[in-house]
Structure 1
Amino acid sequence: MDFLTILKAIILGIVEGLTEFAPVSSTGHMVIVDDMWLQSEQFLTKYVANTFKIVIQLGSILAVLIIFRNRFIDLLGLNRFMKKKGQVTAVPQKRLKLTHVIVGLIPAAVIGLLFDDYIDEYLFSTRTVLLGLVIGALLMIAADKFRPAVPKVETVDQITYKQALSVGLIQCLSLWPGFSRSGSTISGGVLLGMSHRAAADFTFIMAVPIMAGASLLTLMKNWQYFTLDSLPFFIAGFISAFVFALISIRFFLKLINKIKLVPFAVYRIVLAVVVYIVYF
């Protein structure tokens, strides 16, 4: 495998890492890149290319697990096993529970299972992605315009089960490639009275189990594509996605309460227009 192919893997990993958890649609970016670039690699069959996308997505998931490690330890109840003998840890009376996350995941999981074949067949194209980018951007602009003046929920620990379910229902929009999981759920959370940071935290936490489950299932089905020829390509993309996801998530979480969603919405619309002009 030549250097240029490895370089492509690294660049694709960068695209995944920078966009997976920003409200700009990583799937949309990957579909556009796939149509314009990835398919030019002769050794990448459709199945190897799809497996590669899952591998680099796992790199992004690992970054979230590291950043939110204490939160996941608490959600899974593992903190009691990690306390030193005699150590007393103050636990807030109200905090996010694993059941909140499960409630938020149910709607998209059900809809996704019911319409998985339809989505794969009809919605994964550059045209449909561009449409998702624009409509999702309009939702984000609406969220910033019509959000409550003072958030009712400042931190993720204040989220109710009703809000978790409502965000989960809005997350179903992200099944349309280009809409963006984080774009739809953060917008929904903000409209429901959450601060941008609380909505972002809940979005990232919800993303891990559903993305990890879907990714691992796909990898199990496509294990035969991990060959000596393709392994350097997969490893380079995974490491690249992990490193840049780690950087982008930390940067995003520091800025989201300050810059809100409109700048990301503008970027999405500009991207859609530019790609439409160039591609079509």
Structure 2
Amino acid sequence: MMDLIQAIIMGIVEGLTEFLPVSSTGHLILTGDLLGFEGDRAKTFEVVIQFGAVLAVLVLYRHRFAKLLNFNMKKGSGLNALHVILAMLPACVLAVALRHVIKDYLFGSSTVLFALIAGGILMIIADRKKTVVSAEELDDITYKQAFLIGCFQVLSLWPGFSRSGSTISGGMLVGTSQKAAAEFTFIVSVPIMAGASSVDLLGSREFLTMHDLPLFLVGLIAAFVVGMIAVVTFINMMKKLRLSYFAYYRFALAIVFYFLLF
């Protein structure tokens, strides 16, 4: 029963934080430390529940993804598959090249706390810099902006920095609105998360057992349900809240967990 409660808690944390600019990986690492839910089994569980968050975005943006599959790349056609490919490219290349370095040196509570602070500083800079907005809506984003946002996404390879935090900040710095940057982040996150999680899952398949099936399913469902609610809520929040507010939350979280864990 305790395992299932931990699965629900971790699933809720994943669903709530995956698409917010607060770092889901950082929250999962810190929450796992507090719950004592660690080791190879816990890491495999974290990979599985990410699929719940991916599924939430696929369901909510199913019409947008169907449009991407047409591969219509004519000028003025709006967001298309090439935008997504350009945004994925930098992080994918570096993730493959530095995979072992990232796993060996950056997955720890202390490095996550530093990343929470560094990511928060970037978000404040993006929020306060007076950049001319040339892409108010998702379909206004250019190929150049998509690639530059992808370059900022490289920062999310540091656990705790946050994929959405780095890409939304990057989008705002290169001329997209906060809302357009957030929606673009959701779209791009699906193939990246699905690909990265699949690779990690293949590497951890020895830890997948029928005995743990209820644990993994409960966590996945919790992440899916909470993820759907979080995405809809976040998009509405982006119309009203400044990005800096999330940065202040990150600073507070880093301070709280520093005293809890060290």
Give the TM-score range, shorter chain.
over 0.9
Structure 2: stretches of 5+ with no match in the other structure? none
Q: Which amino acid aligns with 1:12?
A: M
CA contact (8 A) 2:71 2:81 kept: no
**How far is the alpha carbon of 1:93 from its aligned partner?**
3.7
Residue 54 of structure 1 aligns with which residue?
A: 47
* Distance across 1 between alignment mates of 2:135 and 2:197: 31
* Distance across 2 between alignment mates of 1:261 and 1:70: 27
* Aligned counterpart for 1:11 among listed residues 1, 9, 16: 9
Structure 1: stretches of 5+ with no match in the other structure? 41-45, 80-90
**How far is the alpha carbon of 1:36 from its aligned partner?**
2.1
* Distance across 1 between alignment mates of 2:77 and 2:242: 26
- The structure having more radius of gyration, on CA atoms, is 1
* Distance across 2 between alignment mates of 1:238 and 1:92: 39
CA contact (8 A) 2:21 2:246 kept: yes
Aligned length: 261
RMSD: 1.7
* Distance across 2 between alignment mates of 1:186 and 1:121: 27
Task: Confirm whether residue 245 of structure 1 aligns to residue 243 of structure 2.
Answer: no
**How far is the alpha carbon of 1:39 from its aligned partner?**
3.0
* Aligned counterpart for 1:189 among listed residues 171, 180, 183: 171
Task: Confirm whether residue 229 of structure 1 aligns to residue 211 of structure 2.
Answer: yes
Within-5 A mapping of 1:43-82: 46-77=39-70
With normalisation by structure 1, the TM-score equals 0.89
* Distance across 1 between alignment mates of 2:99 and 2:246: 28
Secondary structure in 1 matching 2:210: coil
Secondary structure in 2 matching 1:259: coil
* Distance across 2 between alignment mates of 1:200 and 1:226: 33
> Per the alignment, do residues 117 and 92 of structure 1 end up closer, same or farther by CA in structure 2, a change over 3 Å counting?
closer
* Distance across 1 between alignment mates of 2:203 and 2:113: 29
With normalisation by structure 2, the TM-score equals 0.95
CA contact (8 A) 1:100 1:161 kept: yes
